[in-house]
Amino acid sequence: MQALYGNMRVTSRVDITLTIDANAKTYAISMASTATYSGGNIILMWPMLKASFENLAEQGVSVTTNDAAHSVTMSYSLPAETLSDEAITEMLDGGLQINQNGTKIKVPANSLQQGIPELIFYKQ
């Protein structure tokens, strides 16, 4: 794989919006991410990478590619889901922390899915 990709680099930015309605016990998530690829064999690899990202559109992800910058922007939203009392208890037992004035939520690394880093959400 090293020979195929070379010393390719990826710069990534992800913006996540988490909407919680405590009264209705629901939450919804929307995400937008941009990844820019450079170096290595990007000129040769870009068509294959681009095609793999465009396949995500079939799963409801909005995908925009930029050939000149070798970048891809993806966005998607998950509709509101109800949180049961059991799910809330499980999240709190899993280490989810809400600060005293309810303006910050901290989600420990790997608690949502393996490989996801610690996430901190700020109320806007």
DSSP 28-57: EEEEEEEEEEESTTHHHHHHHHHHHHHGGG
Same domain, 69 and 114: no
Q: What is the pLDDT of residues 3-33, one digit of tens each?
A: 666 788 999 999 988 888 888 999 899 999 9
Q: What is the number of domains present in the chain?
A: 2
Same domain, 60 and 108: no
Q: What is the pTM of this model?
A: 0.68
Same domain, 59 and 115: no
Q: What is the pLDDT of residues 35-78, one digit of tens each?
A: 999 998 899 889 999 998 888 888 888 999 999 999 999 999 98
Same domain, 4 and 43: yes
Same domain, 54 and 13: yes
Same domain, 72 and 107: no
Same domain, 88 and 73: no
Same domain, 51 and 101: no
Q: State how far the alpha carbon of 118 is from the alpha carbons of 36, 60, 91, 106, 111, in Å.
A: 22, 26, 14, 7, 8
For 73, the domain range is 1-82
* 98 touches 112 (CB < 8 A): no
Same domain, 42 and 98: no
- Mean of the pLDDT values across residues 97-104? 86
Nearest residue to 53 (alpha-carbon basis) of 75, 83, 30:
75
> How is residue 111 annotated by DSSP?
S
Residue 56 confidence (pLDDT): 85
Same domain, 42 and 59: yes
Residue 3 confidence (pLDDT): 62
The residue behind tokens 């959400």 is 121
Same domain, 64 and 102: no
The residue behind tokens 């889901």 is 81
Residue 46 confidence (pLDDT): 93
Same domain, 35 and 90: no
- Give the whole-angstrom CA distance, residue 76 versus residue 92: 26
| Edge-first strand listing for the sheet containing 97-98 | 97-98, 104-107, 119-122
